[in-house]
Amino acid sequence: MSLLALDGLLVLDKPAGLTSRAAVDRVLRWFPRRTRIGHTGTLDPLATGVLVLCLGSTTRLTEYIQRMSKTYRTGILLGARSDTDDADGTITPVADALAPDVATVTARVAEFIGVIEQVPPAFSAAKVTGQRAYDLARRGEEVTLRPRPVRIHTIEVRRYAYPHLELEVHCGKGTYIRSIARDLGERLGCGALVETLRRTRVGPFTTEAALTLETEAETARARLLPAEMAVAELPRLVLPADDLKRLQQGQRVALAGVPEGMEEPGEMAVFDTMDRLIAVALLDPRDRLLRPVKVLRT
């Protein structure tokens, strides 16, 4: 296999009990030594599901996959709290917790839809004064994290039989499902924590198309996806060869017209006439100028 063939994306169905980093280490066995692989969004050891991996030069596109919306299916335990906000932590039952009815649960769940302010869990990768929150929490230090805005597109009650609640959450970047469970438990007055968590979709990537760690190396190498899928949510622009050459040399390119729907400055995925991803560029619609941000092919 050529080094060029090692550029691309791999969708893994991460099993429970492994960190995302440990899963990447297992995947490295499928490829030649010194292959660069990075994941695009951490899943807790308890969580399973879609973990998108970037190989080779495609690791430069990690941020675009991280921006994509995500869908989770989560099982929540009511009537208890956890120091990690999930079943992997120290669980404390809530004394005299009352079981909320279906109408109350549904109403409280609906309050999370939209842009909300969310405090990450103390045991998380969020940073406090330059340090990971989980490092401080594990040392027994007090962790104070500031709320941050996250977007919840939809949240649906799939099943409820106290103390078990199943939700499906479609959300934006940076959302912690453990924080939703924790905050929902406080609003219901009974406490709550995540029992199970499965990420079923990241942008166009789904569990149905994902590989397991039991996959044979030859099969995994054959299932690499093109780098173009990493920028699937960016507007597309095809440029002629002369303009592409200038863009590849770091020069700005003047456009004859602005693509439809691009009234505000924004990034675009730039392709050649053979439908190959060449670069990501920033469009200034007022001056009709395209500035290279990431050049992938020269």
**262-278 burial string, b = 16+ CB within 10 Å, else e?**
eeeeebbbbbbeeeebb
Q: List the beta bridge partners of residue 37.
A: 55
Which of helix, strand or coil describes residue 201? strand
Q: List the beta bridge partners of residue 206.
A: 201
Q: CA 186, CA 190: separation in Å to the nearest integer?
A: 6
Parallel, antiparallel, or unpaired: how do β-strands 48-55 and 192-202 relate?
A: parallel
The total of other beta-carbon atoms located within 10 Å of residue 173's CB is 14
- The pair of structure tokens assigned to 10 is 């791999």
- Residues designated catalytic: 44
Which of helix, strand or coil describes residue 195? strand
> Which letter does DSSP use for residue 248 in this model?
H
Q: Which of 191, 192, 209 is nearest to 200 (CA)?
A: 209
Kindly give the residue spans of alpha helices, DSSP state H, lying in 46-198: 62-66, 102-110, 133-138, 177-188
Report the sign of the C-alpha dihedral through residues 38, 226, 44, 134, in that order. positive
